[in-house]
Amino acid sequence: MNDTPPIILASASPRRKELLDQIGVRYTVYAVDIDETPLMNESPLAYVQRVAAEKSAACVVKLQTTQLVLAADTTVVLGDVIMGKPKDEADALAMLRQLSGKTHQVYSAISLRGQEHAQAISITDVTFKALTDLEILAYWHSGEPLDKAGAYAIQGKGSVFVTAINGSFSGVVGLPLFETAQLLRQQGVDV
């Protein structure tokens, strides 16, 4: 029996690891660091698909592996504006004020490389209640917004801002499980 996990996860995200654990997929972690700056006039869809694909490609190249490599990218989109991770407090507060009382989208792209390259996308609508400045500031001081796209974590304290979600909860967290499971099954991985 082969004890080698069937996939390499090209991410250091504890949330992505928890989600793979949730569906019983064995993996090893090899995080890659790439430039995630959006290109000029790049659409949110093209952006998340490109970044996920570049992460999986970088992992394959660095490890020189033929093993399956799974990578993902998640971003918050308001209108056609990509909201990445906040640079600082002012940036986080501005993002949360923009999201307040509105519906935005969370795009999550998955890239799976083996003999071939396969991708999937999840787009979820998330609606926030109207936030007060006091709530926004208190949330910033919780420390949670700092490394999260759109400056919030739906699986954490940020959940109290969400009045509605239409789509994939796991996609908003960072790895849409339905789409991930489909791609893995197509490559013969038990889910």
**What type of residue is 54?**
E
Q: Distance between the two ends of the chain, CA-based, in angstroms?
A: 18
Return d(Cα 185, Cα 188) in angstroms, integer.
Answer: 5
Q: Which two structure tokens, joined as six digits, stand for 153? A: 């974590």
8 Å CB contact between 148 and 174: no
Q: Which two structure tokens, joined as six digits, stand for 116? A: 């071939």
**DSSP-H helix ranges across the chain:** 14-22, 44-63, 89-99, 133-141, 169-173, 177-186
Query: What residues act catalytically?
Result: 73
Cα dist from 26 to 3, 6, 146, 158, whole Å = 10, 6, 29, 29
